[in-house]
């Protein structure tokens, strides 16, 4: 190539300038915009690339410090991931909603002492609810968890090396992938070691985790269950296998079932069958005839999936028509005018409402993800699909319209500031507002609230009892809320003769809150200051034999032969027998006490002692009934040591 060709091949800015100037004005503007966009993009890419640390940029003398920083954040993230898996995709569990006598399911399933939010449940007032977190919500909660726990990283271990570490405010953006979690961290990190110093604002890391894969599989199972109700269809089959639903038998004696026996049989049936449920995949060996339990959701599962049920979990069980704890099917053929049949038969049809929880678990190695659902049978049929409300990620309209500014101060009983999470409840809607922040003298939040008459501010803080404050945000703009500190204290139950109680159940009721303790399995209780009603049942080993009963029921039946056609009757009788039962643990003492427990007593004492009257070990049913009656009129002594 000669010199002339080289010159022609170079980028000629003068030619570009002339070309641009010769274009129409609109074309010139477009070209300049494109050039500006390209320049900005190049600058952004440069800034991003230059802000991301590679280990080559970290001085070797402090490389181990930076590695510790990233590994510590990774460990915190792993801890948050573990909580997400254990709690159905939540780190901060949604507000607890209790069940009722009508429908015993709260918003959480107590799984080995851990409250796991139901993805689907029926509330105490019979409303179907969903609490399915989105992946975006999980990422947000993981981000917050890392930001709140960064203090766990202890850089003082490097002080002996003469290394100082300074950390600024942190912001985290996580991305949950199938088999990993990417962590993008914004934090001013400065490391100084003598003449060597290093500063970095943006950091990237990742941890190995199957959380995303678990969640996607869980969502596929849940959506299939909501659409097909395969768990409800299994439940209908269990109901018909283990309980009398409808049928008929030849015979002139009535058919009688004890309702308690039916419930026990159904409990055993669910317990025996639910663990066999599988999602189609390659993680199990299928025994002959067990393909009935395999559910095809459209993809093959490549992880272990368990379906669990425990008889300790709540169950809704009702049956009609029921009479004094019995189901009775009267025979047909004994009625007047039917003697010519020459035989009798018993026909029955019973209607059940039947519901119970199922925990669905996905796991691989040491990683696990679980979520519970309520399986519900309504009047012998699976519930209707697609009627659930209350999706966890849907923001109620009320919460989107916050236009009343309110100042909230949170303090303890000693007037010390307490940082607390603030929510606002208006009728059945609860809105997250924010957190009070302490400046050393006050813990304050000034924020916008929805307008509502007679709503409640809910304030909660770790180690304190949740407080409720009645306020109409249409006319009030300040709230001073006192939170009562929780105190854990040892518990001892004695009888009036000075002996330690063999077994006792204590119920501490304060307002609408109730704490039940089974002693001696539980020897510690957590209380706050306030007025309590304390009711105690003390038990002793016994062997009282509750005699069964044999009663005779008689009915008028048509006479056999020709006289039956003209209304002639005979009296036919049959026996109703309830079998013997043995009471192995009987009430031997107890009583009721009203007591105001002060914060001073809780804070300065080591032990709470409850002393109950001893009525004596009952040996007969009459004595057992008398002991129960004595509890209602006996006093309990409560004192601290």
Q: Which of 52-56, 245-249, 395-399, 482-486 has the highest mean pLDDT?
A: 482-486
Predicted local confidence at residue 12, as pLDDT: 52
pLDDT tens digits for range 36-77: 676 766 566 544 444 444 444 889 989 999 999 999 999 999
Residue 298 backbone zone (phi > 0: left; psi -120 to 50: alpha; other: beta): left
N-term to C-term CA, the chain: 102
| Residues 6 or more apart in contact with residue 553 via CB below 8 angstroms | 254, 573, 574, 575, 576
Residues 354, 254: Cα–Cα separation, whole Å:
25
Taking 70 as the threshold, does the pLDDT of residue 616 lie above it?
yes
pLDDT at 547: 59
Contact 410, 443 (CB under 8 A): yes
pLDDT-derived band at 407, boundaries 50, 70, 90 = very high
What is the reported pLDDT for 33?
73
Task: Report strand pairing: 114-117 vs 108-111.
Answer: antiparallel
C-alpha 346/C-alpha 23 separation (Å) is 100
Q: What is the DSSP letter of 464?
A: B
Tokens of 581: 């039962």
pLDDT number for residue 631: 86
The answer to whether 438 touches 455, Cβ cutoff 8 Å, is no
Write out pLDDT tens, residues 107-132: 999 998 899 999 999 887 778 899 99
Which pairing describes strands 196-208 and 180-193: parallel, antiparallel, or unpaired? antiparallel
459, 484 Cβ separation under 8 angstroms: no
Q: Which CATH superfamily is domain 397-483 in?
A: Carboxypeptidase-like, regulatory domain (2.60.40.1120)
Q: Can you give the pLDDT at residue 388?
A: 54
Query: Residue range 4-29: average pLDDT?
Result: 48
Tell whether the model's pLDDT for residue 190 goes beyond 70. Answer: yes
Strand order in the sheet with 345-349: 246-250, 345-349, 331-332
Is there a contact between 174 and 198 (Cβ–Cβ < 8 Å)? no
**Given pLDDT bands bounded at 50, 70 and 90, which one contains residue 219?**
very high
Domain with CATH 2.60.40.1120 in the chain: 397-483
User: How many other β-carbons are positioned within 10 Å of the β-carbon of residue 10?
Assistant: 7
Lowest mean pLDDT among 30-39, 148-157, 213-222, 513-522: 30-39
3-state secondary structure at position 195: coil
State the chain's mean pLDDT as an integer: 82
Q: Are 523 and 544 within 8 A, CB to CB?
A: no
* Beta-carbon contacts of residue 592 (< 8 Å; ≥ 6 apart): 533, 534, 535, 536, 631, 632, 634, 635, 636
Which two tokens mark 482? 């006192």
Burial of 101 (0-12, 13-18, 19+ CB in 10 A): exposed
Q: Are strands 278-279 and 367-378 parallel, antiparallel or unpaired?
A: unpaired
Share of the chain above pLDDT 90, in %: 48
11 pLDDT more than 60:
no
Q: CA-CA distances (angstroms) from residue 104 to 39, 87, 356, 422, 637?
A: 64, 20, 9, 28, 33
Interval 70-96 mean pLDDT: 95
Q: Which residue from 428, 424, 413 is spatially nearest to 458, judged by alpha carbons?
A: 424
What pLDDT, on the 0 to 100 scale, is given for residue 54?
A: 44
Q: What is the pLDDT of residue 343?
A: 44
Q: What is the DSSP-derived secondary structure letter of residue 466?
A: -
* pLDDT of the residue at 620: 76
pLDDT digits (tens, 9 = 90+) for 568-601: 556 666 555 555 556 666 788 889 999 999 999 9
pLDDT of residue 143: 96
Which pLDDT belongs to residue 383? Answer: 87
Contact at 8 Å (CB) between 538 and 587? yes
Instruction: Give the torsion sign (CA, 141, 147, 151, 155).
Output: positive
- The whole-number pLDDT of residue 117 equals 96
Alpha helices (H) in 155-258, listed in sequence order: 211-228, 230-242
The pLDDT, as a whole number, for residue 572 is 60
- pLDDT per residue over 306-339, tens digit each? 999 999 999 999 998 887 678 888 766 444 333 3
């Amino acid at each position: 190539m000669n010199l002339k060709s080289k010159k022609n091949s170079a980028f000629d800015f003068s030619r570009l300038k002339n070309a641009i100037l010769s274009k129409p004005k609109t074309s010139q503007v477009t070209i300049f915009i494109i050039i500006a966009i390209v320049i900005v993009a190049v600058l952004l890419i440069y800034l991003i690339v230059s802000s991301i640390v590679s280990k080559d940029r970290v001085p070797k003398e402090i490389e181990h410090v930076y590695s510790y920083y990233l590994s510590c954040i990774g460990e915190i993230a792993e801890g948050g991931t573990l909580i997400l898996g254990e709690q159905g995709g939540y780190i901060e569990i949604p507000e607890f909603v209790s069940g009722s006598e009508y429908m015993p399911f709260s918003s959480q399933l107590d799984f080995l002492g851990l409250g796991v939010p139901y993805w689907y449940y029926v509330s105490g007032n019979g409303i179907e609810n969903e609490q399915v977190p989105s992946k975006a919500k999980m990422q947000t909660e993981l981000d917050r968890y890392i930001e709140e726990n960064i203090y766990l990283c202890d850089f003082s271990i490097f002080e002996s090396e003469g290394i100082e570490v300074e950390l600024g405010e942190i912001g985290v953006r996580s991305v949950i992938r199938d088999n990993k979690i990417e962590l993008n961290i914004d934090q001013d990190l400065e490391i100084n070691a003598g003449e060597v110093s290093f500063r970095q604002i943006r950091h990237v890391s990742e941890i190995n985790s199957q959380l995303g894969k678990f969640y996607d599989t869980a969502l596929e199972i849940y959506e299939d269950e909501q659409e097909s109700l395969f768990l409800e269809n299994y439940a209908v089959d269990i109901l018909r296998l283990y309980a009398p639903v409808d049928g008929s038998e030849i015979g002139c004696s009535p058919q009688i079932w004890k309702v308690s026996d039916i419930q026990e049989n159904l409990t055993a049936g669910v317990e025996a069958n639910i663990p066999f449920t599988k999602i189609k995949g390659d993680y199990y060996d299928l025994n002959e005839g067990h393909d009935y339990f395999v559910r095809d959701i459209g993809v093959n599962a490549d992880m272990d999936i368990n379906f669990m049920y425990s008889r300790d979990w709540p169950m809704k069980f009702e049956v009609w028509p029921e009479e004094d704890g019995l189901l009775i099917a009267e025979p047909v053929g004994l009625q007047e005018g039917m003697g010519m049949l020459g035989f009798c038969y018993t026909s029955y049809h019973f209607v059940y409402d039947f519901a119970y929880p199922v925990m669905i678990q996905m796991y691989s190695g040491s990683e696990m993800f679980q979520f519970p659902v309520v399986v519900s049978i309504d009047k012998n049929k699976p519930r209707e699909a697609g009627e659930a409300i209350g999706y966890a990620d849907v923001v109620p309209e009320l919460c989107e319209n916050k236009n009343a500014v309110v100042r909230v101060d949170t303090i303890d009983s000693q007037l010390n500031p307490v940082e607390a999470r603030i929510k606002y409840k208006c009728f059945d809607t609860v809105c997250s507002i924010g957190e009070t922040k302490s400046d050393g003298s006050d813990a304050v939040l000034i924020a916008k609230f929805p307008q509502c008459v007679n709503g409640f501010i809910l304030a909660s803080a770790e180690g304190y009892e949740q407080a409720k404050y009645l306020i109409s945000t249409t006319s009030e703009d300040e709230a001073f809320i006192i939170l009562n500190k929780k105190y854990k204290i040892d518990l001892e139950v004695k009888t009036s003769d000075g002996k330690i109680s063999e077994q006792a159940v204590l119920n501490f009721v304060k307002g609408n809150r109730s704490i039940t303790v089974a002693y001696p399995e539980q020897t510690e209780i957590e209380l706050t200051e306030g007025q309590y009603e304390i009711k105690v049942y003390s038990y002793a080993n016994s062997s009282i034999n509750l005699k069964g009963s044999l009663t005779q029921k008689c009915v008028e039946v048509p006479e056999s032969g020709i006289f039956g056609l003209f209304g002639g009757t005979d009296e036919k009788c049959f026996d109703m027998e309830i079998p013997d039962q043995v009471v192995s643990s009987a009430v031997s003492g107890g009583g009721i006490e009203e007591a105001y427990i002060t914060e001073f007593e809780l804070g300065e004492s080591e032990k709470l002692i409850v002393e109950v009257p001893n009525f004596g070990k009952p040996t007969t049913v009459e004595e057992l009934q008398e002991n129960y009656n004595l509890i209602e009129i006996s006093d309990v002594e409560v004192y601290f040591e």
